[in-house]
Amino acid sequence: MRTSPLLAGTAALAATAGTVALVPRATGTSWHAVAGLVGGLDPGRVLLLAAVWGAGLLAYSLVLTASLPGLSTRQALALNLGGSAVANAVPAGGPLSMGLTTAMARSWGFAPARLAGFLTVSNVWTALGRVAVGGAGLAAWSLAGPGGAPAAGGGLFAPVALVAVLGVLVAGAQRRTAAAGRVVGRVAGRALHRPDLAGRFAAGAVEARRLALDTSRRSWPRLVAGLTGYSVLLVVLLDGCLRALGHPAPLVVVLAAVGVERVAAAVPLTPGGAGVADLGVAAVLAAAGLGPAAAAGALLYRLFTFALEIPVGAAVALGWLALRGRRPAAGPPAVAAPAGDVPARAAA
């Protein structure tokens, strides 16, 4: 029975690789044509694209620092990259990603009681941001896009939006939050033979809700600014990828493609939406008549927003582990957060 997680993980990774391999064929081109376009990239353009990617990470760090007062921009970048490396590389890596970022935040002196609120704020606002960008992209395409509707994203938008709406409804009332926490606690209690977990989870969910609402009321301008800046820079990144390949596309097409990618990446079919999100972006670009550049642009864009985060984030996580082993645990954060504030991580 111990081999089942390994087999499941291997199957998930194989499915991911197979889906990515299908991207050129799904857009009516070949890997040879894609390689020809990517091979002709100007190194200076690639460095510029990397700079845009880095600027996007900085913009998203505002979401994390707003979710956890006292968290520095450097620490926010480390949480984002380290967590993304795990989430993007491991099947169903979300819990492992949160475990890593929680351990990192605790090593910097943030109290465990504040972690649930941080995770709630950052993840809920990130999910709402994905839904907003996805909805804007699909709406823009429907109103002014060339060709038919991007079905690759339309089929995924409804379930993702439904989950986000349900999350808001659950958090909207303390009674519903406690009930949801009690259900999760009962499931965990049965698995661990701990009947006391239902009450503890309910109380923890209510406290996390209180902390999250307090933080959101104080920090919503920074949260909105961070998510808006990050989304705009993703559009700039995809537009830059297409221009670097010599096949620029209308803004409405780029916006629709980014919207589909944001929604598809949130669907936990593969790590970080790998393959699914690539196909979604490529399908939108192909529907706009970009030919081989549809697959090349999608893969180049996802190289920055998905693949590059794995080695960079792994290096960050290993660096944190090395520093943690050489010095004692950190004291309280330099900037004390007001009572009721929080910490955690959401994959951008």
Contact 81, 64 (CB under 8 A): no
Q: How confident is the model at residue 87 (pLDDT cuts 50, 70, 90)?
A: confident
Q: How confident is the model at residue 19 (pLDDT cuts 50, 70, 90)?
A: low
Instruction: Give the span between the Cα atoms of 101 and 96, in whole angstroms.
Output: 9
Instruction: Give the span between the Cα atoms of 341 and 213, in whole angstroms.
Output: 9
Instruction: Give the span between the Cα atoms of 103 and 89, in whole angstroms.
Output: 19
* Contacts for 222 with CB less than 8 Å, ≥ 6 apart: 62, 63, 65, 66
pLDDT at 292 exceeding the cut of 70: yes
Quickly tell me which residue has 């996580």 as its tokens.
317
Instruction: Please give the pLDDT value at position 186.
Output: 67
Closest CA to 276 of 16, 8, 2, 4: 16
Whole-prediction pTM: 0.79
Q: How confident is the model at residue 89 (pLDDT cuts 50, 70, 90)?
A: confident
pLDDT at 84 exceeding the cut of 70: yes
Pair of tokens at residue 136: 């804007």
Instruction: Give the span between the Cα atoms of 149 and 51, in whole angstroms.
Output: 32
What's the mean per-residue pLDDT of the chain?
78
Pair of tokens at residue 6: 């390994």
Query: For 224-238, what is the mean pLDDT?
Result: 96
Torsion sign over Cα 179, 183, 188, 193: positive
DSSP state of 122: H
Q: How far is CA 18 from the centre of its chain?
A: 22
